[in-house]
Amino acid sequence: MTEPYELDACAARDAILKSALSPVELVSSCISRIERVDPSLNAVVANCFNRALDEAKKAERAVGSGAKLGPLHGLPILIKDLQDTKDLRTTYGSLLYKDHVPEKDESNVSVLREAGAIILGKSNTPEFGAGAHTVNKVYGATGNPFDITRTCGGSSGGSAVALAASMVPLASGSDSGGSLRIPAAYCGVVAHRSTPGIVPTERHSIGYTNYSVQGPMARTVADTQLMLSTLARYDDRDPLSTPWARERFQKSVSVDLFDLKVAFCDDLGFAEVDDGLRSIFWERVEHLKPLFKNWVDAAPNLLDVRRCNWVLRAVHFLSKHRDRYENRRDELGQNVIDNYQAGLKLDAMDITWALQEQTNIFRSMSNFFEDYDLLICPTNAIPPFPIEQRYCNQINNKKFDNYVEWMALTWGLTIPGNPITDLPCGLDHTGMPFGLQICGPHFSDSFVLGAASVLEKSLSENEITTRPVPDLAW
């Protein structure tokens, strides 16, 4: 018999609307699941269970009252610990904010509440989202549910782990260099990095930048799209926000994969990729090829995206952390310090060059999608590394001199700002989840999600490529 916590968001929502499932039953089931499995995983770092149960009771009464119900009515959700959440400890993974309790929700949290979602707590993240390994000095490390001795990725690692372990059907995340996609791939769940401006936020210190976006995470493409349809909207506090954003995601887009021209690429033309994962990718491509009439092995020309990313990332940290670095450096983690100090070495010409190069990369990617409908590549360049490591420092015996190099497959696609859905695709050669990035032209988010949905169905029909589920009987 299926327990309520095992239900995907769409199934749970439909059952609630039909009065076949009570929001109280669902919330209670998820809370019990968290209490049972999270002590070994450390994904949920603050909770408001009593408040959630009260809200679930109100949601239950609303179902029978004839009141208009939101699209997420009664659905439990976790909020990444980078997002301000009213009356709930929000640390940003930093000792500087270890006792911080916001007085109000930030906008995307408010929007989720207004849609009927019931917040159960906060999910773990590295300090200020710096690093694709979820560990910080406040809460410690979050383990991968497939192997608790390995990283779950980051920075939305707590959210990905909670989803994979069926603690909640929905969770929030954010993504700069891969913070939605990397943990989703490492934990066997779905995430979507939208075209910048689709999901607005008032939190950007540099408003006219596509570097960081907030977005949805779930176990299925349909659930991810459901959450995105709530988050997508216009907000005049975000310079990149678009008035037509919400209407683009109200309905699913039907996609015929056979009519598409698809580019498969294992390294984006520049990234170092573990030999074992490269082989796994091409093995999985063999399962995908029959779905498309036209496919090629082709990489976009991302120009000098490596240097461009390093400069823009440093500028991003300079804009956010000056006061913290100058006055409370001893309380900051090494990743934040490294990024900030990289910024201090830049001059005006470095920054000018990076902004120009990003524009060139954007145009090059647009040209690429004049020839292809989709780009499909691996999400991660290596299997999950040991949890005690701060980052992966080498691939195929090639050593790296910074902590972001191993994430090249994700930040390489951050720079042009294309929409990307991370889709689980079975297990890799080490027995850990393997994910694919499904990337499309700018503002084609609905199309990308539609294609991902069809791919998801096809992959689910094969035991090698179906979404993996962790065995939590450690």
Catalytic residue among 29, 80, 123, 241: 80
Round to the nearest angstrom and report the end-to-end CA distance of the chain: 22
Q: Is 179 a catalytic residue?
A: yes
CA-CA distances (angstroms) from residue 35 to 45, 80, 429?
Answer: 12, 18, 32
Residue 283: closest CA among 183, 378, 190: 378
Find the DSSP H helices in 247-347: 275-288, 305-328, 334-344
Report whether 132 contacts 152 (CB < 8 A).
Answer: no
Catalytic residue among 28, 155, 166, 176: 155
Give burial (CB, 10 Å; 0-12/13-18/19+) of 86.
middle
Report whether 324 contacts 223 (CB < 8 A).
Answer: no
Residue 229: closest CA among 238, 239, 237, 221: 221
Q: What is the 3-state composition of the chain as percent helix, strand, coil, each rounded to the nearest 5?
A: 40, 15, 40
Dist CA 326 CA 321 (whole Å): 8
Q: Is the dihedral of CA 297, 300, 306, 310 positive or negative?
A: negative
Catalytic residue among 166, 172, 176, 179: 179
Dist CA 193 CA 185 (whole Å): 13
Q: Alpha-carbon dihedral of residues 102, 105, 109, 112, nearest 10 degrees?
A: 130
Q: Is 57 a catalytic residue?
A: no
All residues at 6 or more sequence positions from 259 whose CB lies less than 8 Å from its CB, including other chains:
293
Six-digit token string for 470: 């962790």
Six-digit token string for 343: 């910024």
CA-CA distances (angstroms) from residue 71 to 14, 79, 206, 229?
Answer: 10, 17, 31, 9
Q: Is 29 a catalytic residue?
A: no
How many H-runs (helices) and E-runs (strands) does the chain carry?
Answer: 13, 17
Q: HSE on the CB side for 369, CA within 13 Å?
A: 22
Catalytic residue numbers, as ranges: 80, 155, 179
